[in-house]
Amino acid sequence: MKKYDVAIIGAGPAGIMASIIASRNGKRVVLIEKNHQVGRKLLSTGNGRCNLTNRNITMDRYHGATPAFIETVISQFDQYATMEFFQNLGLVLKEEDNGRIFPRTNQASSVVEILQQSLSRSNVDVLLESQVTGIERSAAWKISLANGRQVVSDQLIIATGGRAAHQLGSTGDGLYWSKKLGHSLTAIYAALVPIETVEQWPKDIQGVKVDARVWATSNNKKISEGAGDLLFTSYGVSGPAVMAQAGNIAPLLKTSQVVLHIDLFPDMTEGQLDQIVLHILQNSGKTTVKDSLVGLLPNSMITLILKFSGIGELKQAGAIPERKRLDIVRILKDITLTVSKLRPLKEAQVTSGGLNAEEINARSLQSKIVKGLYFAGEIIDVDGDSGGFNLQWAWSSGYVAGMLAK
């Protein structure tokens, strides 16, 4: 039986990067993946466009392990190293708003194909449709596959991901094996996930997308804040403006009520917005208030806002008293929704929580508990904000684990 220097379980971004780096350093590498292709989840990233890193990587965009742990890993292979790595493979990149980096093709499949080509050039043995069912450590690592085969290696890198979007492969197997080997886990939640609300009215305007500022409060204290697209859905709210706050909200839901506040006009003060509404109403005379507001809000939202302000839709615009106009303005600047729960891990982009980083050496990502065992990617208790931060963690940690430093 062929014995490898290193076996890597999981061909997501972290496992692929670890394989390429280990192989470039002269190791005999096997990469084991249960899906029929490498990088299955990568194909779905960035709405199929793959936001592969961010020019502005800072530690405050990450959660879970300590900033020192995360920085020690990322500084060994940062966003500039990542961009250079892909450019050297022939992938042309482009930068969009807020430093987000994408392939110029706008296709995540370009990233996966480039990595596939690199894996074959590096002579990595890639075993597809090969689900690992168990790992065992004696003189070497023995890795059992569902198809009855066994793989033997001196060192092992587990890069099986967290538990988010498990329909794409990451079912948490690596977390289970690591626990059996003595590692502890931090609490696991869905992060970057849509939010369900107690109120049912988002269903009435489902599909409406707005550019908003959204902040969450618990016991009247602000716990998080976000901005950008907000999508109303049949169950509540989705989109970058709220999904990024799920990680902060999740731990509080058991003990307190969390309220989302939505500012539909974040680029204006209440006074500026009032001037606009006043102008519209004054110039609309006998037009119904509903018709007068069509240039301000999507149609279905007008009905809702008028209902919340207690104003009949058919009332003449010019007859709205100041008190009622100010009600409209206040609601547009702060509509509230009560969080009932987060959508399931299946719909999350990333897992908050994972392997306790205190039991992993930050310089090498080798286990402090089991020699010859390394970790990379989302399996570790590190999650980042939306914007390329999670893939940067996968590339950086894959690189560090792939170096197989002692």
Residues in touch with ligand FAD (CB under 6 A): 9-15, 32-35, 40-41, 44-46, 50-51, 131-132, 159-161, 164-165, 169-171, 173, 349-350, 377-378, 388-391, 394
| Closer by beta carbon to ligand FAD, 143 or else 305 | 143
CA–CA dist 157, 393 (Å, integer) = 16
- Rounded to the nearest 10°, the torsion over CA 167, 341, 384, 218 is 180
| Closer by beta carbon to ligand FAD, 40 or else 213 | 40
| Closer by beta carbon to ligand FAD, 327 or else 383 | 383
Helix, strand, coil percentages, rounded to 5, for the chain: 40, 25, 35
* Closest approach of ligand FAD to the CB of residue 168, in Å: 6
* Closest approach of ligand FAD to the CB of residue 182, in Å: 19
| Closer by beta carbon to ligand FAD, 78 or else 173 | 173
* Closest approach of ligand FAD to the CB of residue 190, in Å: 11
How many CB atoms neighbour CB 204 within 10 A?
14
* Closest approach of ligand FAD to the CB of residue 9, in Å: 5
Buried b (16+ CB within 10 A) or exposed e, 100-132: bbbbebebbbbbbbebbebbeebebbbbeebbb
The dihedrals phi and psi of 315, each to the nearest 5 degrees, come to -60, 145
* Closest approach of ligand FAD to the CB of residue 310, in Å: 41
| Closer by beta carbon to ligand FAD, 197 or else 352 | 352
* Closest approach of ligand FAD to the CB of residue 115, in Å: 11
| Closer by beta carbon to ligand FAD, 9 or else 70 | 9
Place of tokens 């080798």: 366
> Using alpha carbons only, how large is the chain's radius of gyration in Å?
25
Q: Is the CB of residue 34 less than 8 Å from the CB of residue 23?
A: no
* Closest approach of ligand FAD to the CB of residue 291, in Å: 40
| Closer by beta carbon to ligand FAD, 110 or else 218 | 110
Q: Is the CB of residue 31 less than 8 Å from the CB of residue 15?
A: yes
SS (H, E, C) 346-390: HHCCEEECCECHHHECCCCCEECCCCCEEECHHHECEEECCCCHH
| Closer by beta carbon to ligand FAD, 161 or else 402 | 161
* Closest approach of ligand FAD to the CB of residue 216, in Å: 22
CA–CA dist 313, 302 (Å, integer) = 9
The dihedrals phi and psi of 336, each to the nearest 5 degrees, come to -110, 150
Q: DSSP secondary structure string, 51-88?
A: --EES---GGGEEES-HHHHHHHHTTS-HHHHHHHHHH
Which residue type sits at 297?
L
